[in-house]
Amino acid sequence: MSEIMKSWRVRIFLIALLLSFFTLMIRPVQLGMDFSGGSLIQINLDRPLSSSEMQTVVNVLQSRLNNYGLKQLAVKPWGKQFVVVEITKTSDPKEINRIQALLGEQGKFETLYNGKVVLRGEDIISVITDPQKGYGAYPSGNGYTWTVPFLVSNKAAEEFAKAVEGECTPLPNSRSCKEQVYMFIDRPENAIIVMPPKLYEDEREIPDDFIDSPNKIKADDLLKNSGIDLAVADQITEELLEKIRGKNVIVPEGAYDSYFLKALNGSAANVKEIPKRSDYWLKDAINIENIVHLTPGVTSGKPITNPSITGYAATKEKAAEELSHVAILLKSGRLPVSVSIGSVSTISPILSERFISYSVLAGLAALMVVATVLLIRYRKIKIALSIAMTSFSELIILLAVAALIGWQIDLPAVAGIIAAIGTGVDHQIVITDEALRKEKEVELSLITRIKKAFSIIFMAATTTIFAMLPLLVVGMGTLKGFAITTILGMLIGVFIARPAYAEIVNRIID
């Protein structure tokens, strides 16, 4: 043992192994949803994206989920038109539905005045989440009012001030002006609302706070100032089909039969049914967040850099949910494309625990079989144990590196680990065979034979790494985990484990 420890290659190997054990003690490996339970959400993009656009989508979605409070997650591109989101330790159906709603929104913030956009999401510098500066939900009447303040750039504030300067008609018995601005997140574009006459009559006039304000706004004025057309109809006519031609049609969910919807689809660019989620369907249909009356101070021409979005909810929990939702969308920014939620799959924690148990059992069984085969082949227990222990040590070092870089271990990553360890055993067999073999014509030195083995190993490892690079570079979804663990395993083996094993086998044979 003392002779072996004199080798600097062996010392480096042992130091790496000890550091790996220490790392795993203070920073455990992050397990993917395959081993910890969770959900996999597929997001469909409306067109193929360039690599930079795809990175923007991934960053925005990652930011949304991080702001939502989810840290154990992975957002991965899949080809050019799909993204998969792995959320570990989350399988509650209500929570998944909320996350789906968050991921499925484009997050485009706009403020309109007289039907024209006067403030955009890109004008926002930051979202203020300090309760001392107005952020939060507070009791109000029979419910709760929530407020999300934010900062806008000086240029945007100046342009907004210019757009509303002098636009103030005082309201009786009020400090506010009659004029209003409309705040949206994901306002429908090139859109027309089609609604039945009864629903139109019910929502002909809407409180401007969408709850119980005495100030009413006509539905026609609301849509006009939102840049959205309106058609009231309960049957198909040529006039209706001509009015919706080439537009995105929004209708109340369940209000029309399949024949009516089919006829609309034949003329419109797209038809979307929207459910009623609040007191007024129109609010849900156009994604309006806030209607704000201007004040004399705002219309004086002085730039205001700290506007806010407010809302109302019946319960504290609902207010907190709406508050968080709006804040997250404003923080994360908008997506460069429209998105839709595809398939959603869930793995329960119980099933994931079985995956772990089966993986450990399979690994131990494989290690025993490999050790047995090596013992039969070489008939030297020291060599068989050296190969088995070196492979086990490679696994520990590889897991420690994964823990350090924060890479989640899932089934594809396990497949990469198996590939790397399997290749490592193969390389050690090459080293052992070269060390034991005698040339027929010329007796080569042991060192020379091991050098010859390493030339074979380096060539094989290089070939494998280059074979993995396409999966790593193009980021083909979950296959990236396979590529990363395989490449890391190869590098650890070639530069740390193989040289140490060569020294060990050299001592054993000598």
Do 23 and 137 fall within a single domain?
no
C-alpha–C-alpha distance, residues 288 and 96, integer Å: 24
- 421 pLDDT band (50/70/90 cuts)? confident
Angle made by CA atoms 90, 96, 98, in degrees to the nearest 5: 130
Asked if the structure places residue 340 within a domain, the reply is no
Do 130 and 256 fall within a single domain?
yes
Last residue of one domain, picked from the residues 316, 334, 361:
316
Query: CATH code at 372?
Result: 1.20.1640.10
Task: For residue 457, give every residue at least 6 positions away whose Cβ sits within 8 Å of its Cβ, in sequence order, or none.
Answer: 427, 430, 431, 494, 498
Percent of the chain with pLDDT over 70: 92
| Residue reference for tokens 């490996």 | 29
Residues 201-259: tens digit of each pLDDT: 999 999 888 887 788 899 999 999 899 999 999 999 999 999 999 999 999 999 999 99
The pair of three-digit structure tokens given for residue 18, joined into one six-digit string: 């000890």
Is the torsion defined by CA of 371, 376, 380, 383 positive or negative?
A: negative
Last residue of one domain, picked from the residues 276, 294, 316:
316
Asked if the structure places residue 156 within a domain, the reply is yes
Asked if the structure places residue 331 within a domain, the reply is no
Do 188 and 214 fall within a single domain?
yes
Do 84 and 166 fall within a single domain?
no
The pLDDT assigned to 442 comes to 44
Pick from 65, 109, 98: nearest CA to 83: 65
Query: CATH code at 46?
Result: 3.30.70.3400
Do 473 and 378 fall within a single domain?
yes
Do 391 and 463 fall within a single domain?
yes
Do 298 and 358 fall within a single domain?
no
Q: Are strands 270-274 and 248-252 parallel, antiparallel or unpaired?
A: parallel
Do 393 and 420 fall within a single domain?
yes
Do 464 and 369 fall within a single domain?
yes
CB 496 within 8 A of CB 12: yes
Burial state string for 128-149 with b = 16 or more CB within 10 A and e = fewer than 16:
bbeeeeebbbeeeeebbbbbbb
Number of domains within the chain: 3
The pLDDT assigned to 49 comes to 87
CA atoms within 13 A on the CB side of 183: 18
Last residue of one domain, picked from the residues 316, 334, 356:
316
Q: Return the bridge partners of 293, or none.
A: 180
Residues 70-79: tens digit of each pLDDT: 766 778 888 7
Q: Return the bridge partners of 252, or none.
A: 274
Do 87 and 236 fall within a single domain?
no
The pLDDT assigned to 439 comes to 42
Asked if the structure places residue 337 within a domain, the reply is no
Do 73 and 132 fall within a single domain?
no
The pair of three-digit structure tokens given for residue 105, joined into one six-digit string: 């929104």
- Identify the weakest region by mean pLDDT among 253-257, 265-269, 357-361: 357-361
| Residue reference for tokens 């057309």 | 229
Asked if the structure places residue 322 within a domain, the reply is no
Q: Which helix (H) or strand (E) holds 404?
A: helix 381-405
Pick from 329, 314, 11, 289: nearest CA to 143: 314
The mean pLDDT of the chain is 84
Asked if the structure places residue 164 within a domain, the reply is yes
Do 112 and 257 fall within a single domain?
yes
Pick from 102, 144, 148: nearest CA to 124: 148
DSSP code per residue over 109-161: EEEEETTEEEEEGGGEEEE---GGGT-EEEEETTEEEEEEEEEE-HHHHHHHH
Asked if the structure places residue 243 within a domain, the reply is yes
The pLDDT assigned to 257 comes to 92
C-alpha–C-alpha distance, residues 43 and 97, integer Å: 14
Identify the three-state secondary structure at position 40: strand
- Identify the weakest region by mean pLDDT among 8-12, 234-238, 259-263: 8-12
Question: Cα 286 vs. chain centroid, distance in angstroms?
Answer: 26
Percent of the chain with pLDDT over 90: 21
Asked if the structure places residue 376 within a domain, the reply is yes
Q: Which amino acid is at 140?
A: S
Question: What range does the domain containing 128 cover?
Answer: 107-316
Pick from 462, 411, 325: nearest CA to 86: 411
